[in-house]
Amino acid sequence: MTGSLKVELKHQNENNSKSSPGLEISEMADSETGEVFRDQDGGNETALEKNFDIWGVVGIVYSSIGTPLALGTYLSTVIGVGGAPFFFYTYLFAGFFCLLTAYSMSEFASVHPHSSALVYWTHLYAPQNYARPLAYLSGILSCACWIFGMTATGFFVADLVLGLVYMHHPDYVSQTYHYYLIFLASVVFAAGFNIFGTRLIPLLSRVVTYVINLGTLFTLVALLARAHPKRTAAFAFKDVTNTTGWSSNGVVFFISMLPTTATVTLFDGACHMTDEIPNPKKNIPIVIAYGYTGAYLIGFVSVLVYNFCIVNPDNLLDPVGGIPLFQLYVDSLHNDGLATVSALIIIVAFLLASVGLLTSTSRLVMSFADFNALPFGKAIGSVNTKLNAPVWAIMFVAVLTCLIGLLIFASSTALNAVSGSFVSTMYVAYLIPFVALVLKKDRYGKGVKPLFNLGRWGKPMNIICIVWFLFASAWLCVPSYVPVTANTMNYTVAVLGATAFVAFANWFAYARKHFSIGIIKEIESEEEIEEEIVEEIVEEVHAKAQ
């Protein structure tokens, strides 16, 4: 018999039966492709509503990275870490590998879209004996990455708000607790919106997309029209500035990759919304592939405009409010009103982006907790049906973000430490499923062809990405300035070490006994589907007889 036959199979997860009674696994089998579409309810009474269309998820992803505007917040690299040329060339260099990562991730998602993303893929592709611990490790690292990213966004909001205050009140002296309170307010705002306004998030995500794009257009046009005199091509592409203390410009080049890696990033974000968008196998890869390509191209234009519109580079050494981008506005726009509007656009964009970032992060944490990876996983992995929101996951992420935010009291380099940590943690997490897939002989399975198909280039691209993950992670741990002091130290290694400690502590204390994703089976024919049904019936009869 030919045609597409879909059969729903429900069975008790044997691995979870002791630790999580009642955990049901639903599998949808397609006799044509031999694939199994699996949805784990994890004890939730109902799944999240499918409120998002493709543009809503695009908004979530685009607001999470905000590439063209976020790049401007890294203009401090123009001051002495390579100058404008390295700002431009590292964008081309690192951006190439970032796009390869996005395209590889699109292929992953077109085969097995899942809200836990890396966790699920690792469990599918890793050798059976190692799948469970590796899936757990990828999940912890992935959750840490997104929570660090949430923290970094809150830092940016606080920094930008105080910078705007200083623009209009030069005598203002900020205190550390001022910084933290604004950071706290941004997190509370994002959490409140996610809990009580979850059905409005698809609309908000579209609004943020318009704010970022129109804000970028306004800012770039204003800079091009009013910045005078423009910088020369030599300044933008040739004159390297190195005040880092490193004797090698090659070292400085790789250190200056942070702006690109931190703004063309978080490639698995769209996957976290799998349960809330129709036809995820088709739509999620489209969001990732086309969304990141578009963001990269707009960012490319932004870098060029920023480089040519730096009227007074020396002023960036002591920028207004400590924000080089605001100093660029003041020097280049020659109008306080335009500078204020441009600054407000950045602030609003980052504040609203924190909502979408928390949305994506909470879905990841909810899905990971649903596999009993965390204590109180049943609660954290649950969905409030009245609010249509994973309330406990949202609160968990928000509270943890606020606790991590206390790092601002430790060092003035806390922002760079967290930013560098979220990128490094992301790349280390990505390593696990990528390596597992490369080592797997039949890749996605016998006869399975991804909807977003990289073809024969898929495996070479995966290997290049693996090398890139290792390379970039190493350089993101290198201090920008030498000799190293307490204020110039790169604390990324310390943050990664703390993350590893928490991961292993939780594994031995809880997850080793409770964490389980379930049994994944590939069904290649209609006959096997029928055999599967018979086996299920026989097992149920024996269970009742006993």
Q: For 384, which DSSP code?
A: B
CB 110 within 8 A of CB 279: no
Cα 323–chain centre separation: 24
CB 155 within 8 A of CB 415: yes
**Angstrom distance (rounded) from CA 194 to CA 188:** 10
Query: Tokens 């979850």, residue?
Result: 198
Query: Tokens 């840490």, residue?
Result: 144
Phi, psi angle pair for 411, to nearest 5°? -160, 150
Query: Tokens 């007889």, residue?
Result: 545
Arithmetic mean of pLDDT over the chain: 85
pLDDT at position 75 is 85
CB 265 within 8 A of CB 288: no
Among the ranges given (236-250, 283-297, 523-537), the one the predictor scored with the smallest mean pLDDT:
523-537
pLDDT at position 27 is 41
| The total number of residues written for the chain in this structure | 546
CB 426 within 8 A of CB 114: no
**Angstrom distance (rounded) from CA 202 to CA 340:** 29
Query: Tokens 């009245």, residue?
Result: 386
Percentage of the chain beyond pLDDT 90 is 64
pLDDT at position 324 is 84
Percentage of the chain beyond pLDDT 70 is 84
pLDDT at position 36 is 37
Mean local confidence (pLDDT), 19-29 = 38
Instruction: Return the biggest CA–CA distance within the chain.
Output: 87
CATH number for the domain whose boundaries are 35-522: 1.20.1740.10
39-55 residue pLDDT tens: 443 333 336 889 999 99
Residue among 468, 29, 37 nearest 257 (CA): 468
Please state the pTM of the whole predicted model.
0.85
395-454 residue pLDDT tens: 999 999 999 888 788 766 666 677 668 999 999 999 999 999 999 988 888 778 899 999
Q: How many Cβ atoms from other residues are within 10 Å of residue 259's Cβ?
A: 27
Query: Tokens 């609010």, residue?
Result: 387
Tell me: pLDDT of 87 over 60.
Answer: yes
CB 379 within 8 A of CB 396: no
pLDDT at position 532 is 52
